Chain A
Amino acid sequence: MEASNKTTFKRRDFLKLSSMTGTVLAVGYYLPSLGKSPELINAVHAEEAGIQLNNFIFIDTAGKVTLVNHRPEMGQGVYQSMPMLLAEELEVDLEQVDIVQAQGDSKKYGRQSVGGSNSVRSSWEASRKIGAAAREMLIEAATKKWSIAKSDCYAENGQVINKKNKASLHYGELVEAASTLTAPENPTLKSPKDFKILGTPLPRKDVPLKTNGTAEFGIDVKVPGMLYASVERCPVFEGKVKSFDDTETLKVKGVQQVVKSEMTVFRHTREGVAVIADNYWSALQGRKKLKVEWDFKGHDKWDNKTIHDDYRASKDEKGLSAVSRGNFSSAYGKASKTVEAEYECPFQAHATMEPMNCVVSVVGDKCEFWGPTQSPNWVRGSLAGYLKVAPENVTINVSFLGGGFGRRAFTDFPNEAAFLSKKIGKPIKVVWTREDDVTQGPFRPCSLNVLKGGLDDKGNLVALEDKMVAQITSFQFPGADKNKVQPWFMEGANHHYEVPNLAYTVVPKELPIPIMWWRSVYSSTNGFAQESFMDELAHAAGKDPLEFRLELLKDEPRFSKLLETLRDKSEWKKDKDAAYGVAIVHCFGSYCGQVAKIRKSGGKIKIEKYTSVIDCGMTVNPDIVKAQIEGSIMMGLTAAFKSEIEMKEGRAVQANFDKFKMLRISEAPNVDTYIMQNEEAPGGVGEPGLPPAAPALTNAIFELTGKRIRKLPFDIASV
């Protein structure tokens, strides 16, 4: 990102000579911040040790290299991939470096949020430039020591080497001299063919912390004087507290106080009653004894049926045009064969395995946050605005995240904890129960897609319409332009298909139900609708579904090469006793195609294998790419036949994993993933694997049973 370059790419941003010590550039002095994770060290403590750190790379005089990961680690692998970008250009062995976690500070680190499959894409050049500039300064320092030309030396494995006499100086011996130099503004980046680290499946440095219990998540944070809170929030969105009776609650040992609480959710305030105790279990016990009277403000009338009917009633509205070419209506009218279908997807909760939580301490005009957030910068700004203090007075400590999927990008839970800390005057740790986490939202929006397709007499697709009826996440923010369609509203609906008359339209709906980004956002619903419908069209045209897509994408080389690879790797339709389904979706800058291979065994559908091919351009760590695809397929399958949030009387019906069902290991197919090799710019990785998962399966089920599934989730046991 632009911002990242501007804020991080200054002379003082790295390799800084400390005037206090006069001996090092930037020193790896640090103290563990969150206690016990030896490698999860917060960069701020270096500042407290007297060294100004405004950078990504520290080298001490002994040559020890410490790299800053400025992005929150939620499972997607930035704790490894961000330092890999720096290390590649810096010419250091990743095994030999320490990684520290940055605090939330956009002035130091640029954009830090994780979401939209964006981390590698937006840091690919910026982070490499920071590493390359450091390398060039170290080389220049060596040339001065040796009085030779730059072309006579090179950097490798934490050393600068003299080409002529093979003499070498390790980086620690060069830091002081390098620190007096001006950082080059446009350092030379390595050519991809010279990469040693990027594109290799190096083991993740966070993994050993996650196999022995030492990784620290937000829920594990303890700060001195901290109290615990559990909050009974209004079950109906936008409802208010009328009154509450805490007599029995206050009798529970350990409960200290009961207070009315508030949490900002977009432009609304959600009210609740918070039980404050000296331990979490007591807070939970006290909460069970609360009696609260709510004012639902008339928002208790929404349920699945009213929403469904309302969406149906809107499907003939003109809506807002997202993509349009040719003349759909005219071509559809003249088509020799037409197909029409409606596809529905439900609300979904994110259900990160670590329920929402954080610790916030508000003291005077200062605020400190500890916890799992995808948006360190947004949380900082949000807390500052909410508490009416300067952003510089707000410290954001980022722990590991026990899952994110979009949910932890939101600022509601930090704001609520800040409200409580300010009110109580102590650091407060708010831990949501699983029921809070699943019922309170924000959710993935539910959707209705109405699709129409027209074929000519040769079975060519000449007209295609896709109309999405759904709530729009960004319209919830104050001041949103509700007449403007952003391209991502219809992401996942592929406009690269060579159809001369095409119309993709959005009919925005408004409901008092908070919604949010959920892994792959609208691609998860649009992708299911469109890739299922493409299958319907292929069958209507009497063509093989994979060949039908290939024909329509023959002038799109990245799509067509991927489909050909997918056909080969999946051994498409070679096993005559199995059924195959295919889907291909382009989103977040990458292309992902999948084939589900299924068969009936003992009267039940058995998902035997997924073959997945992704073209995400150049990769940082191909093993992380594969892991993300595997995980995306599992989450896509969960949404396909396990989980949904239903609404009844303005509240979520499913509350815990007994009803909000997750895929289990016994239902998980094996996955083979292939990555297209090219030198295209990096695309997203965390999300593009999800949208094809459901339609690949339902298309295979149609192949096997003749039953077309148009509504998720479906009961796989009864197919």
Chain B
Amino acid sequence: MASISLNINEKSYTVDVDPQMPLLWVIRDHIGLTGTKFGCGIAQCGACTIHLDGNAVRSCILPVAAVADKKITTIEGISENNDHAIQKAWIEEQVPQCGYCQSGQIMSATALLARNPEPTDNDIDLAMQGNICRCGTYPRIRKAIKEASKLTTDGSK
């Protein structure tokens, strides 16, 4: 056990846990932010995607000791009010079905748009293919990312 300080969604937390515990379980069970989901435990499905210093990473295989003092963002930190362009587009295109994978999808999509505001189909495929959706919302995810890109770039022009 070790005392570890974490910076999540611009808030500081101190947890006393096994340093090898994956960040996913720390976030969910110890800090109580349950928007980040468990899907596979081996970084194959993307349900646990969070941002680490702005990059989309899988929290299910990331030991908590490795992320102390780094900037962590979870779905709860994107926007509670659903006013991020990706969230708006997700609602506009009615992307989610069961919704379980969608936190992870949104984390991958927001990271993509942050570094590439006008992604091509191929860019979208590459950035999003680590996120499985069993309900099969892929065609809508593709549309929504383009919609969000339009919302973002139109706003900045």
In the complex, A210→B103 CA distance in Å? Answer: 7
Q: Which of B12-62 contact A (CB under 8 A)?
A: 17-18, 21-22, 25, 28-30, 32-42, 44-45, 47
Inter-subunit contact A665/B128 (CB<8 Å): yes
- The chain A residue sitting closest to B1, CB to CB, is A253
Which residue in A214, A401, A630 is a CB contact (below 8 Å) of B140? A630
Residues of A within 8 A of B81 (CB): 212
Inter-subunit contact B139/A630 (CB<8 Å): yes
Q: Which of B95-142 contact A (CB under 8 A)?
A: 95-103, 106, 124-126, 128-129, 131-142
In the complex, A669→B76 CA distance in Å? Answer: 31
Q: Is the C-beta of A19 less than 8 angstroms from some C-beta in chain B?
A: no
7 closest pairs, A vs B, by CB?
A: A213-B35, A634-B136, A402-B100, A210-B99, A75-B98, A75-B97, A631-B136
In the complex, A228→B124 CA distance in Å? Answer: 38
Inter-subunit contact B136/A210 (CB<8 Å): no
Task: List the interface of chain A (C-beta within 8 A of B).
Answer: 73-77, 203-204, 206-217, 219-220, 222, 228, 253, 279-282, 285, 351-355, 400-405, 431, 433-434, 623, 627-628, 630-635, 656-658, 662-666, 668-671
CB distance from A235 to the nearest CB of B (A): 18
Inter-subunit contact A434/B91 (CB<8 Å): no
Inter-subunit contact A634/B99 (CB<8 Å): no
Inter-subunit contact B79/A631 (CB<8 Å): no
Residues of A within 8 A of B29 (CB): 228, 279-281
Inter-subunit contact A351/B134 (CB<8 Å): yes
In the complex, A75→B29 CA distance in Å? Answer: 25
A–B pairs, 22, beta carbons within 8 Å: A204-B94, A207-B90, A207-B96, A209-B99, A211-B106, A212-B81, A213-B76, A219-B34, A222-B32, A281-B17, A353-B101, A402-B99, A402-B100, A403-B100, A404-B98, A630-B140, A631-B136, A656-B42, A662-B134, A664-B132, A665-B128, A670-B142
Q: How large is the interface on B (under 10, 10 to 19, 20 to 34, 35 or more residues)?
A: 35 or more
- The chain B residue sitting closest to A405, CB to CB, is B134
Inter-subunit contact B100/A213 (CB<8 Å): no
In the complex, A253→B137 CA distance in Å? Answer: 40
Tell me whether A662 and B132 are in contact in the complex, defined as CB-CB below 8 angstroms, given that A253-B18, A281-B29 are known contacts: yes
Inter-subunit contact B40/A434 (CB<8 Å): yes
Residues of B within 8 A of A671 (CB): 139
Residues of A within 8 A of B67 (CB): none
Q: Is the C-beta of B87 less than 8 angstroms from some C-beta in chain A?
A: yes
Tell me whether A213 and B34 are in contact in the complex, defined as CB-CB below 8 angstroms, given that A281-B18, A434-B41, A631-B136 are known contacts: yes
Inter-subunit contact B138/A400 (CB<8 Å): no
Q: Is the C-beta of B149 less than 8 angstroms from some C-beta in chain A?
A: no
Inter-subunit contact A664/B129 (CB<8 Å): yes
Between A206, A217, A228, A354, the greatest number of chain B beta carbons within 10 A of the residue's beta carbon is seen for: A354
In the complex, A211→B86 CA distance in Å? Answer: 9
In the complex, A402→B45 CA distance in Å? Answer: 14
Inter-subunit contact B134/A635 (CB<8 Å): yes
Inter-subunit contact B25/A634 (CB<8 Å): no
Residues of B within 8 A of A210 (CB): 96, 99, 102
In the complex, A222→B31 CA distance in Å? Answer: 13
In the complex, A457→B97 CA distance in Å? Answer: 50
Q: Is the C-beta of B8 less than 8 angstroms from some C-beta in chain A?
A: no
Residues of A within 8 A of B37 (CB): 217, 219, 353-354, 402
In the complex, A217→B99 CA distance in Å? Answer: 9
Given contacts A219-B38, A353-B39, 12 further A-B contacts (CB under 8 A): A211-B87, A211-B90, A211-B102, A214-B35, A222-B32, A353-B37, A434-B45, A630-B140, A657-B45, A665-B133, A668-B139, A668-B142
Q: Is the C-beta of B65 less than 8 angstroms from some C-beta in chain A?
A: no
Inter-subunit contact A668/B138 (CB<8 Å): yes
- The chain A residue sitting closest to B87, CB to CB, is A211
Inter-subunit contact A631/B135 (CB<8 Å): yes
Residues of A within 8 A of B133 (CB): 353, 634, 665
Residues of B within 8 A of A634 (CB): 133, 135-136, 138
Residues of B within 8 A of A669 (CB): 139
Tell me whether A665 and B129 are in contact in the complex, defined as CB-CB below 8 angstroms, given that A207-B94, A280-B29, A657-B42 are known contacts: yes
In the complex, A217→B75 CA distance in Å? Answer: 15
Q: Is the C-beta of B154 less than 8 angstroms from some C-beta in chain A?
A: no
CB distance from B39 to the nearest CB of A (A): 6
- The chain A residue sitting closest to B24, CB to CB, is A281
Which residue in A203, A216, A631 is a CB contact (below 8 Å) of B97? A631
Q: Is the C-beta of B82 less than 8 angstroms from some C-beta in chain A?
A: yes
Inter-subunit contact B74/A213 (CB<8 Å): yes
Residues of A within 8 A of B135 (CB): 75, 353, 403, 631, 634
Which residue in B36, B44, B136 is a CB contact (below 8 Å) of A213? B36
In the complex, A433→B60 CA distance in Å? Answer: 12
Tell me whether A657 and B138 are in contact in the complex, defined as CB-CB below 8 angstroms, given that A213-B103, A400-B98, A434-B39 are known contacts: no
Tell me whether A281 and B22 are in contact in the complex, defined as CB-CB below 8 angstroms, given that A212-B82, A353-B133, A631-B136 are known contacts: yes
CB distance from B133 to the nearest CB of A (A): 7
Tell me whether A403 and B98 are in contact in the complex, defined as CB-CB below 8 angstroms, given that A630-B137, A665-B138 are known contacts: yes
In the complex, A354→B22 CA distance in Å? Answer: 18
